[in-house]
Amino acid sequence: MQQLSPSQVPNVHEAEPIPEAARAAIEALMQSGDLFRYTAPQNAPVALLEEEFAQLLGSKYALAVSSCSAALFLSLKALNLPRDARVLIPGFTFAAVPSSVIHADCVPVLCEVAENYRIAISDFEAKLDDVQAVIISHMRGHTSDMDAIMTLCAARGIPVIEDAAHSLGTIWHGRNIGTLGAIGCFSFQSYKMINAGEGGILVTDDADLVARAVIMSGAYEHNWKKHKGAPGDNTRDLQEAFAKWQNQLPLYNLRMSNLSAAVIRPQLPELARRVRDGLKNHDYIADQLNQSPHINVPAPLAPEQRAPDSIQFNLVGMSSEEVNRFAALTEAKGVKVQIFGLSKDNARAFWNWQFMQEIPELPQTRAMLMQACDVRLPVRLTRSELDVIANVLLSAMDEVMSAAAA
Ligand SMILES: *Cc1c(COP(=O)(O)O)cnc(C)c1O
């Protein structure tokens, strides 16, 4: 990659190249035309991806689909919830999350999110007795207190779906995020740790849940026979579950194409490096930003080891006018800072989810969104590129706040 001069601001929307190995796999698919996951009798790229991903995460089963949103939708359908079941989700997440709840004929219930971007456990607990399922969205890879959440939900027999779209590689007490709840969902959209343009995958240890999800994803007739667990898994549970659900479920056809799997598979061995670099880059910039009295990068929770590809920070002790000036000045200097609550029609601000029947007021979450900044930090950035970004943010802050003091 070409080295940028320090005065140049790096393009944070530019992706890392796809590993060379993907070319040969794609060329073979071009030759054979075998793009559909169920054409080959076995070992289609999508099936291999599922085995590899399940093994990587330490889960029994994986199902690759068209997006993380599709995975969330199928997870809710797999739980066999009654129509209009209430599903608790955080008030700070991407609009795809309440959308998946509505798509599954359920009703989203929002709970408060604290200043550190994690679920406010007291509000979560207060709303828990009135819901049938929970989606924990680890927004921007920030892990909520999963010890408290799993204990509270287990005591009530409430299933937990993890939206780990942005958490691939994140660890909680040594365990992979996405494997703590009944089902974990991940995204391969371009802004996530593994980039296929589009794509998603769900993992679970529950044969019944995965069998239902597999059939509804579009494994019509006996195509489910091409689904296996992680290597070494005893497949009898799975076979029995498929037999039980044969012809009992509607098909939504949310399958992944072999082309996407061919792009994803060679990226799996890159994950550990990306996670390491992403965390190092994040912490390097966080240390610089935390020097400013007007910036606070919230610390991770103690059991959490993060895998960030962006940074979030709160603006502290600034008027709304100063916040606006900071946003304008950083943009003029070439770094786009998204302030979730300020940018118009933001898909992560709950008051814009007007497709919901009822939008509650969440004062704590709203206050956080009005001061929370978001900057993309692709893991390929070099130290000097990180310095450029940090300098833009800190010098803009200096200009705004010294003008205010004068
Ligand atoms: C990206 C993202 C999604 C949606 O993923 P898609 O694969 O684009 O459907 C859902 N939740 C979170 C937290 C995300 O970051």
Q: Is 98 in the pocket of ligand 1 (CB under 6 A)?
A: no
What is the mean predicted confidence (pLDDT) over 86-113? 98
pTM of the model: 0.96
Is the CB of residue 93 below 6 angstroms from any atom belonging to ligand 1?
A: yes
CB environment 37-62: b (16+ within 10 A), e (fewer): bbeeeeebbbbbbbbbbbbbbebbbb
Ligand 1 centroid distance, CA of 166 (Å): 7
If you measure from the C-alpha of residue 165 to the centroid of ligand 1, how many angstroms do you get, rounded to a whole number? Answer: 5
Separation CA 285–CA 47 (nearest Å):
39
State the pLDDT confidence band at 7, using cuts at 50, 70 and 90. low
Distance 226 CA to ligand 1 centre (A): 27
- Single out the residue of 273, 267, 279 nearest to residue 307, CA to CA: 279
Is the pLDDT score of 109 beyond 80? yes
- H or E stretch at 89: strand 86-90
Beta bridge partners of 185: 163, 202
374-404, pLDDT tens digit by residue? 999 999 999 999 999 999 999 999 999 998 7
Q: Does any ligand 1 atom lie closer than 6 A to the CB of residue 97?
A: yes
pLDDT higher than threshold 60 for residue 248? yes
Mean pLDDT calculated for residue range 142-156: 98
Rounded distance from Cα 354 to ligand 1 centre (Å):
19
Report the SS3 class of residue 160.
Answer: strand
Q: What is the CATH number of domain 20-269?
A: 3.40.640.10
Q: Is any atom of ligand 1 closer than 6 Å to the C-beta of 74?
A: no
Cα–Cα separations (whole angstroms), residue 106 to 76, 128, 322:
9, 15, 41
Please determine, for residue 6, whether its predicted confidence score (pLDDT) is greater than 60.
Answer: no
184 touches ligand 1 (CB under 6 Å) = no
As a CATH number, domain 270-405 is: 3.90.1150.10
Torsion of CA 80, 84, 85, 86, to 10 degrees: 150
| CB 85, CB 359: distance < 8 Å | no
- CB within 8 A of 103, min separation 6: which ones? 73
Ligand 1 pocket mutation pick from 163, 167, 190, 260 by most atoms within 8 angstroms of CB:
163
75 CA → ligand 1 middle, Å: 14
Q: What are the domain boundaries of the chain?
A: 20-269, 270-405
Ligand 1 within 6 A of CB of 187: yes
pLDDT, tens only, 15-28: 899 999 999 999 99
Residue 4 has pLDDT above 50, yes or no: no
pLDDT score of 233 more than 90: no
